Structure 1
Amino acid sequence: MSQETGIILSFILYLGLMLFVGWFFYKRTQNLSDYILGGRQLNKWVTSLSAQASDMSGWLLLGLPGLAYLTGMGEAFWVACGLALGTYLNWKFVAKRLRQYTQISGNSLTLPDYFENRFRDHSKILRIVSAVFILIFFLIYTAAQFAAGAKLFNTVFGVPYLMGLAIGALVIISYTFMGGFMAVCWTDFFQGMLMFFAILIVPIAAVFALGGTGVTLDKIAAVDPAFLNIMASTGGKMLTVMTIVSSLAWGLGYFGMPHILVRFMAIRSSDEIKPARTIAMVWVLISLAAALFVGVVGRVYLTQTLEGAASETVFMVMVNQLFPTLIAGILLAAILAATMSTADSQLLVTSSAISQDFYKALFRKNAGDKELVLVGRLTVVGVSVLAFILAINPDSSVFKLVSYAWAGFGAAFGPTILLSLFWKRMTKSGALAGIVTGGITVLIWQQLKGGIFDLYEIVPGFILSVIAIVIVSLLDKQPSKEIQDEFESVGVSKI
């Protein structure tokens, strides 16, 4: 059996399993709650692993190793620290209260749903503005996942980039279209386990192939003594405070990620949040550390140098050289798993926003569940086509695309989520000001270059969003007694 044939067989088996899961849950999707939130019936294992798999995406196996490969441990290390800290804080402070609040406040199925119910927004402006920003930033984010899948097919099989883009998009569309939230979460659960295994075994195998830890470290030092220095970039250039702050600021993004927060909303009970947090943190810490070492070890293991966007293929090239056919196929399928686990979640959240927050809110207030599920499924197809167009450039950087979308969500929704959960005095006008200020700051800041504008756009976006929420809320009249009583009831909830 040739190398390519074995890998193709592994991919076909893997993709067939994902499509079967989609078909399985298609038969069990009875209403809109099932399609969007799985009837709030996720267990702790599926909640934690699906949340982290959809969080990390193809970025874990392509973007982060590529950054470490190009720049060494410095910047990549601080990005990983920011992500680990953000993950913990999100599970610790947001998960339980969001699960309780979204059910108490009108059984909210989406974030725009929650904002409208939390602030009793009868004008629907919060719902519509939130849905607009979800659509904008998820188009960019989904495009990043499609680009990652296309790079995989191009690197492994020599398939033209455009054809690889089409294959990956078609599979993701198929099972998201069919099965909705439960299909997405269960496929993400399996994909999370596969990603964990793959990212762990590759750097270990490479170190053994190089002759052990000592030899590997000597080779790295010979390439660049600063390569393992967390305070320096390649060539010994010290990292600036702005670079470190920008890298750590990735952690702020978690508080506003709809495709992660929706997992908290869907867990069976808030009592399962704590064990789910433990599972998630073990997965995250080990996976991030392994991803850094893929890039660093790959720098000395690979004989050819990967330039620019090609650095993001370091994991794939190492797998092809290190492992026999079938194992290589399974490990490379992990990249497909990583891209699919995020793209499917993003497509589902976007389809939920369009069906619930545009279609029903503006055009068909009395639309039934079957009609809304159909609209959601058609949205999956429509958004995928737009994301496909955005990802059509083969030089697209997965890291840069994810970075932009991550900042957008973190700044637009992060402060609004946090303050809505923990500040009773927050008002509808404050929430609207926060979402608009954070989102627009990111869109503008990213276009400016030089000096202070080199700071990662999530930092100014997050800060200005918080300021806008606080000032506008304090200038506004106090929330009604009904809203304040509901806020207090969340603290004693047993949901």
Structure 2
Amino acid sequence: MSVSNPTLITFVIYIAAMVLIGFMAYRSTNNLSDYILGGRSLGSVVTALSAGASDMSGWLLMGLPGAIYMSGLSESWIAIGLIVGAYLNWLFVAGRLRVQTEHNGDALTLPDYFSSRFEDKSGLLRIISAVVILVFFTIYCASGIVAGARLFESTFGMSYETALWAGAAATIAYTFVGGFLAVSWTDTVQATLMIFALILTPIIVLLATGGVDTTFLAIEAKNPDNFNMLKNTTFIGIISLMGWGLGYFGQPHILARFMAADSVKSIASARRISMTWMILCLAGTVAVGFFGIAYFSAHPEVAGPVNENHERVFIELAKLLFNPWIAGVLLSAILAAVMSTLSCQLLVCSSALTEDFYKTFLRKNASQLELVWVGRLMVLVVALIAIAMAANPENRVLGLVSYAWAGFGAAFGPVVLISVIWKGMTRNGALAGILVGAVTVIVWKHFELLGLYEIIPGFIFASLAIYFVSKLGAPTAGMVERFDAAEKDYNLNK
């Protein structure tokens, strides 16, 4: 497609607005806590929407609608699993983690929290968990940059190399300048744009295909199995898709939102807002792919790009059914999904390098200003490594996303969940949980045992390791005291 002025202008205005928000956040960033966690000042709306937007990447507007378009409703099990997992994460982890991190040395990162919660004097917990974050998140960042490049490439006819830098530049700019506040404020705008696109588009597609009855008849005529949620599925397959929900307990970029909330009181309303947003977005995503079957069956002359690449279903529907200016806004929602996730991942990597390596091991007495600028420098370093990894779009980076999600979910998920609900957990239990979870994911993935998604055995074995290894020892009096104080604080204020 040649450069479409309305679409290009919309993109430029949107990107400029995001960078402007970054400079506004810059003025509120005075120390490392501000840069990493926004000074723990997020209200319920920003907490809710930034948690949702940071979670849902370009997959929400490209991958899932494409899968539904190709295979029908049987691909929607993953959406059900994600909704259940996200709700349980908000219910059991969010408020408790907010309080526990404050009571355990006012921890700013997950490695920092693990180290303080379990009184790990050796630094082993901090190092291992920070390395896990850096390895998996650099892969994640690379996949986000590939997705952004693909969007610019297909929308504006750029070369892949040019699109790579165009897609990454704006995200790097506002993350570098404004840190956590910029990321959270832009996530809120991006979440609003995403839900607008995912509610409006299926409604217009439905109207264009003649209403609900006509649309459903057309989908059934194409293939009656499109309505069958069990088509080409097995019990193992359904469990594997729903198992994605387990990953929420261990995703550092989502957990950081809970840690940054202004108080435990904000969490309950944030949960309601976030889950409403998530359910509407996922329902809209499924509807776009599903109704797209009817639209392109009725208009085969314009179905070429979607038949060639089914992940373009949302992009093509937006371009075909909307005024170019509105289409530009809707396509910006894809960019929003990519940018919101990428910015969080860059910041979490920067946080791990600055707080967990530089400050802890190299410059214990570094000033707050120095740490903020080191954090900014680390954003650039991680971004450049991710861009180098993304330079070859055929390097299977996107295929590693499910691997990284499973790695975080199994290595950190049980440790985070059990650490906030069981006072009997020990430092060795936490260490065993991280190692067993990570190793199980690697081994299970390598041998592809039973066809089961590796996060499920990883999560189960890590949880068992935490319990049994913790039972071999006992937490210190200080650990129990801090846990009880945090739990009391949580129950008084939730």
Q: TM-score with structure 2 length normalisation?
A: 0.95
1:277 aligns with 2:304: no
1:463 aligns with 2:460: yes
Q: Give the number of aligned pairs.
A: 485
The 5 Å alignment of 1:212-251 reads 212-232=211-231, 237=232, 239-251=233-245
Instruction: Choose from 479, 483, 492 the match for 1:483.
Output: 479
Q: Does the aligned pair in 2 maintain the 1:439–1:461 contact within 8 Å?
A: yes
Partner of 1:105: 104
Of the structure 1 ranges 190-199 and 59-68, higher mean CA displacement relative to structure 2 is found in: 59-68
The 5 Å alignment of 1:284-295 reads 284-295=278-289
Q: Does the aligned pair in 2 maintain the 1:147–1:396 contact within 8 Å?
A: no
What is the CA-CA distance between 1:490 and the residue it aligns to? 1.5
Q: Distance in 2 between matches of 1:397 and 1:212?
A: 40
Q: Distance in 2 between matches of 1:354 and 1:108?
A: 15
Structure 1 segments unaligned to the other structure (5+ residues):
none
Q: Does the aligned pair in 2 maintain the 1:63–1:399 contact within 8 Å?
A: no
The 5 Å alignment of 1:4-23 reads 4-23=4-23
Q: Does the aligned pair in 2 maintain the 1:3–1:325 contact within 8 Å?
A: no
- Per-residue CA shift, 1:191-237, capped at 9, x if unaligned? 000000011111111111111111111111122111121111xxxx3
The 5 Å alignment of 1:189-228 reads 189-228=188-227
The 5 Å alignment of 1:33-432 reads 33-74=33-74, 76-232=75-231, 237=232, 239-302=233-296, 303=300, 304=303, 310-395=309-394, 400-432=399-431
Q: Distance in 2 between matches of 1:19 and 1:335?
A: 17
Q: Distance in 2 between matches of 1:88 and 1:412?
A: 20
- Per-residue CA shift, 1:338-382, capped at 9, x if unaligned? 001110011101100011111122222222222221221111111
Structure 2 segments unaligned to the other structure (5+ residues):
none
Q: SS of 1:109's equivalent?
A: coil
Task: Name segments (4+ residues, structure 1) moved above 6 Å.
Answer: 396-399
Q: Distance in 1 between matches of 2:162 and 2:123?
A: 41
What is the CA-CA distance between 1:3 and the residue it aligns to? 7.6
What is the CA-CA distance between 1:443 and the residue it aligns to? 2.8
1:9/1:221 CA distance change after superposition, 3 Å: same
Q: Does the aligned pair in 1 maintain the 2:3–2:157 contact within 8 Å?
A: no
Q: SS of 1:466's equivalent?
A: helix
1:77/1:94 CA distance change after superposition, 3 Å: same
What is the CA-CA distance between 1:143 and the residue it aligns to? 1.7
Q: Does the aligned pair in 1 maintain the 2:6–2:328 contact within 8 Å?
A: yes
Q: Distance in 1 between matches of 2:291 and 2:225?
A: 14
Q: Distance in 2 between matches of 1:207 and 1:173?
A: 38
Q: Distance in 1 between matches of 2:405 and 2:484?
A: 31
1:3/1:157 CA distance change after superposition, 3 Å: closer
Of the structure 1 ranges 279-288 and 216-225, higher mean CA displacement relative to structure 2 is found in: 216-225
Q: SS of 1:72's equivalent?
A: helix
Of the structure 1 ranges 407-416 and 298-307, higher mean CA displacement relative to structure 2 is found in: 298-307
Q: Distance in 1 between matches of 2:214 and 2:347?
A: 47
Q: Distance in 2 between matches of 1:306 and 1:88?
A: 36
Percent of aligned pairs with the same residue? Answer: 50
Of the structure 1 ranges 43-52 and 159-168, higher mean CA displacement relative to structure 2 is found in: 159-168
Q: SS of 2:168's equivalent?
A: helix
Q: Does the aligned pair in 1 maintain the 2:109–2:256 contact within 8 Å?
A: yes
Q: Distance in 2 between matches of 1:205 and 1:182?
A: 35
What is the CA-CA distance between 1:406 and the residue it aligns to? 1.2
Q: Does the aligned pair in 2 maintain the 1:408–1:439 contact within 8 Å?
A: yes
Letter in 2 for 1:85: V
- Per-residue CA shift, 1:376-395, capped at 9, x if unaligned? 11111111122223323435
Of the structure 1 ranges 439-448 and 219-228, higher mean CA displacement relative to structure 2 is found in: 439-448
What is the CA-CA distance between 1:444 and the residue it aligns to? 3.2
Partner of 1:492: 488
Q: Does the aligned pair in 2 maintain the 1:155–1:316 contact within 8 Å?
A: no
Q: Does the aligned pair in 2 maintain the 1:91–1:277 contact within 8 Å?
A: yes
Q: Distance in 1 between matches of 2:307 and 2:353?
A: 36
Q: Distance in 2 between matches of 1:470 and 1:68?
A: 40
Letter in 2 for 1:279: I
Q: Distance in 1 between matches of 2:487 and 2:144?
A: 38
Q: Does the aligned pair in 2 maintain the 1:131–1:353 contact within 8 Å?
A: yes
Letter in 1 for 2:476: S
Q: TM-score with structure 1 length normalisation?
A: 0.95
Cα RMSD (Å)? 1.7
Q: SS of 1:148's equivalent?
A: helix
Q: Does the aligned pair in 2 maintain the 1:415–1:462 contact within 8 Å?
A: yes
Q: Does the aligned pair in 1 maintain the 2:306–2:316 contact within 8 Å?
A: no
1:207/1:397 CA distance change after superposition, 3 Å: farther
What is the CA-CA distance between 1:162 and the residue it aligns to? 2.4
Letter in 2 for 1:95: A
Letter in 2 for 1:490: A
